[in-house]
Amino acid sequence: MEILTGAAIGLLAGLHAATWGMYKDAPHEGFRWPTYVRSVWLGALLGAGLAAAGFVPTEAGEAVMFFGVAYALERACVEFYKTFLRVEDQSKYFIPMQFHVLGRVVHDRLLRLVIGAGFVAGGLGLLAIAATLRDARPSLAAVVAVGSLGGWFSAFAGAWKDAPIEGFETLKFFRSPALAGAYGALLWRFTGDPVAIAFAATGLTIATLETYKTFFFPGRPRGKFAGKPVRFPAMLRRRNAAVPVYVAIWVALIGAAAVGFTAG
């Protein structure tokens, strides 16, 4: 039951990510079920793995933490695959999705893997920093700093990828670390584990910002498709069928957080 519970929460995290991804990309790329369900089954597998490893949510607040951790892991896996492993035609993008330097795609697979390993090492280094507080009683400022670690990683990685092509935006750069730090302060109520806080704050930050960028500005194409034609205009209408499920996941997540805060 514990593994099934973990798989179910991970599935919801993957379904959430898959839905905003489909919503923003389908008008430009079309809809394909294998692409859509990729994040769903990956989230379920990661959730089951987390539960098998001993991270078992038994309370509402822990379920919120679990959702955020599974979300961060799913996004990390998918982005690593798209950036360092996948090979596809990049001409359909305004901003390349494969690893690039100033817009020039690095085609050497071995070099991309080496660079990708460096990114993974950097992320693990940040988690090691968070882990140093595991046996301490950190201050609120320290918890905010820990929560912001994933946001800083995302901000620097995003600036490396996007800024040389679309310019540097100060507000956009600091948005992820600020929101992740705020989530860190909130999640502290559910756990004293700084590594879990760092992961969960990152996942919830991604979920929040992608919701804002995708559904509050549905007519604005993402940077990677800036200036590119809408090749599948029917998807502008058909994609709305997935919105109720997306909203239901948010409602369940917010409800669980409210229960967790009340119980705490």
d(C-alpha 234, C-alpha 253), whole Å: 31
The whole domain housing 210 covers 2-263
Answer whether residue 250 shows pLDDT above 80. yes
- Give the confidence band of 26 by pLDDT, cuts at 50, 70, 90: very high
Confidence of residue 264 (pLDDT cuts 50, 70, 90): low
154 has a pLDDT exceeding 70: yes
For residue 47, which of 9, 92, 93 has the smallest C-alpha distance?
9
Cα 105 from Cα 88, distance rounded (Å): 11
Tens of pLDDT, residues 166-198: 888 888 899 999 999 999 999 998 888 899 999
Beta pairing partners, 104: 101
Whether pTM exceeds 0.85: yes
Q: Would you place residue 94 in the very low, low, confident or very high pLDDT band (cuts 50, 70, 90)?
A: confident
Tokens of 104: 């020039």
Q: What is the pLDDT of residues 208-225, one digit of tens each?
A: 999 999 999 888 877 788
The one-letter code for the residue type at 127 is L
Give the mean pLDDT of the chain: 91
Q: How many domains does the chain have?
A: 1
- DSSP notation for 56-123: ---SHHHHHHHHHHHHHHHHHHHHHIIIII-----TT-SS-SS-EETTEE---HHHHHHHHHHHHHHH
Weakest mean pLDDT among 3-7, 84-88, 129-133: 129-133
pLDDT for res 200: 96
pLDDT category at 24 given cuts 50, 70, 90 is very high
In this structure, what token pair is assigned to residue 145? 């700093």
